Structure formats: C-alpha cells, structure tokens
Amino acid sequence: MSLLAEALREQVCRANLDLVARGLVMGTFGNVSGVDRDAGLFVIKASGVPYGELTAGHMVPISLETGLPLDTRFRPSSDTPTHHEIYRAFSCGGVAHSHSEFATAFAQARTPVACMGTTHADYFRGSVPVTRPMTRDEVESDYERNTGLVIVEAFETLGLSPEDVPAALVANHGPFTWGRDASDAVERAAVLEYLARMECLRRLVAPDAPAPADYLVNKHFNRKHGHDAYYGQKPGPGRS
C-alpha cells in the first residue's frame, strides 16, 4: 500500500475516533470513510472492531471502480457499498454514518430536519431530507448498495444539491453526512445532531412556527460557503 494510502488510513482512523469523542455513536455503530480519487480508492473502518481497539491498520482500502477491498486482512464495514454509491454520485472527500440519538429519531420518524433558522442555514441550505422507505426487494437484495442509491435518488427527486445540503436521513435507519474529507464529514454529523436536537425543542415550543424566508437562509449559507463567502479569516502567511 502506498504512503499516500497509509496517510489516508491515519486520517480516517482519527475521524472514526472523533465520532466517539463527539458522542455520536455507541457500541460499534457508525463508520467514517475518506477517498483519494487520484489513487482510485477510499478507506473505511473495519466491520465490528471496537473503537477502543481501532488503529489505522483497521482501515480497509476499497477500489473506487469496483467497490471491492484491496486488502483482505479485515472485512470492511457492512455499509461500504453505501459509501461507494455516495462517492460515485457526489463530489465529496469523506462520508460519515452515525446512529446519533436525535438525528436517528428523525430518520426513524421519516421526518426531515427542517431548516427553521440561521443556525441551521450556516451549514445546510435547507432542510435535511429523508429518503423514501426501501422496498422489500431493495432490502432483501443488495441492501447496503440500495441504501446509497435511495440517498442519491432523494437528492435527484427533490432537486437538491449535495454540496448545499451535505446530509441525508435514511428512512428507519439513520443519518449519513459528507464533506471535503473524513474529518469534515464528522463535523457535519455533529452539527446535524445538534440541529436535530434543536428542532425537537422548537417543535415543543412552537409546532406551527413559520419557516424563515429563503433570502435569510441563503444569506447565512452564502456568507460561509462558495466564492463570495466572507465569514472567518482569509488564508495567508501563517494561515491555512
């Protein structure tokens, strides 16, 4: 395995451990992957390995072309085909899957996390969608691959940009998020959990509260993202 792939394994291992540090998983639930498109591979957590034992050596390289492992010492996460379909469809560098409490509750309720204010709009340009329920055939045949396909289908059906809303709730399952790398994908997972918790409280305070105007949502999203973003510091000497 190349030094580049070894570095990616280290990065993805740290991102998986960050899922635990942020309280987004319990047991062996959840997984994070990171991709090197030039090398034609991504790496993902090995299946069922306790987080307390996890090392970079447990990160399994997967062919972007075939979706098959390039190293067979460990069996990759059972969600590997889902990550593969997301990488095939979306221009992202990392994918995270958690079973965090509030975001998973919305997934199990088949309910989008509504964009109700600027905190949400700082990260997601609109509500985080929920997929349609999977059919019996989809579940019983190639389930994990079909999970990825229904995520992609949801964005196509709703006309959403995966760059503007880098997250989805899989109906009756849980959240998937993606970003520029594995660490960024975990950050989005943490933010999504916070927003889901806040949305639960909003529904208790004012279940019929009106959604914010599009111009407010767009303003908050655009000031952090895209060519005209002005939030934070510009890269320069000593900054990155």
Q: Which residues are catalytic?
A: 122, 231
Q: How far apart are CA 43 and CA 142, in angstroms?
A: 20
Tokens encoding 190: 């943490």
